[in-house]
Structure 1
Amino acid sequence: MIRLLLADDQDLVRGALAALLSLEPDLEVVAETGRGDTVVALAEAEAVDVALLDIEMPGATGIEAAAALRDALPHVRVLIVTTFGRPGYLRRAMDAGACGFVVKDTPAEQLAEAVRRVHAGGRVIDPQLAAESLSVGESPLTDREREVLCAAEDGASVRAISKALHLSEGTVRNHLSAAIGKTGAANRTEAAHIAAANGWL
């Protein structure tokens, strides 16, 4: 039996995934959580073989949880299962140690097969997303530019961003200006939108 952990903050989605995967004779869902920061402890406690992680969750993102699993329990294989099929997310997930990346509208039998392939040591990547990722390329943003854009995403002022990130207002303006230039945006709101759409934030 392949022992599975499901991490998704939407109870209905998590329950549906658990029900579908449990129909497979060789798959057993042994742990479920709605938070990214409980993944490692649950995976260890339940001797999990494969963790299926959503990206956007409270506590920690699926990408952060994948990196934490890689560091703490490298034998646990990670499959990202998400609504957010963004090229930047794919690249960041693979960099964090994920072995697979599929979107939630993947048919149940394909998802079960993806779990088996990841468990066997293979990689599974949504082909359309892989093609998009190659065409979009890597994020042009530095970590600090990404951090500043994230803080600007909700329309925060330069002063508020500088206080939140403990940076001078001039430094914040410089990072915003660089991010606007790199994304080809007209302003910081558009830059944040472009970066988010590509999965760079």
Structure 2
Amino acid sequence: MNRRRKKRQQQDPLESVKQRLQSFDWRSKLVSTKQRIEPLWMRLPLLHRRVLMVLVPFVVVLLLLPSGSKDASETVVMPAASRMEIPINTQSLSTREQATAEQGVEPAWQDYTVKQGDTLAAVFRNQGFPMADLNALVKIEGEDQPLSRLRQGQLVRFKRTPEGELDIIQLDSSKGAVIFFRLSDGGFGRSK
């Protein structure tokens, strides 16, 4: 024998809330609350009752109004033509760790001006840097290809680690400087 079960009719949640609110006896709750509060209220001095009648609505209004404080999410709009200098820490992690350990002198930047016919590979060979570093840099070069488009007279700056390895390379161009720096894992990152 196959008995069919009646499906439970789905009730709208909003409708169930409306029914509960309608069935709630607001009048009796309000009267009972008033009966509990009125003796306490009448025990207060007249001056206190008057002050509370002014302050309580005032505090409620203040709580409902949005705060007028400015938060850090607001951005300052600068004119397009103005430039702002931002200090950049160009010291890589490996150099910082060694500088704090040794308390010694920070390695200086070496400048190289690109000559006619120079490639970055030739510059790396002349400076004694391994080609593996050049390959790692080319992988993160980006669409503007600052490493592949060296021009005569362009300034290339190098900073070495105390061991003599490439730590930071900066390429200056008419569009601005592009900085590649060694990461703590041995790879390279790009600043711009």
The alignment's TM-score, normalised by the length of structure 2, stands at: 0.21
Greater percentage in helix:
1
Point out the structure with max Rg over C-alpha: 2
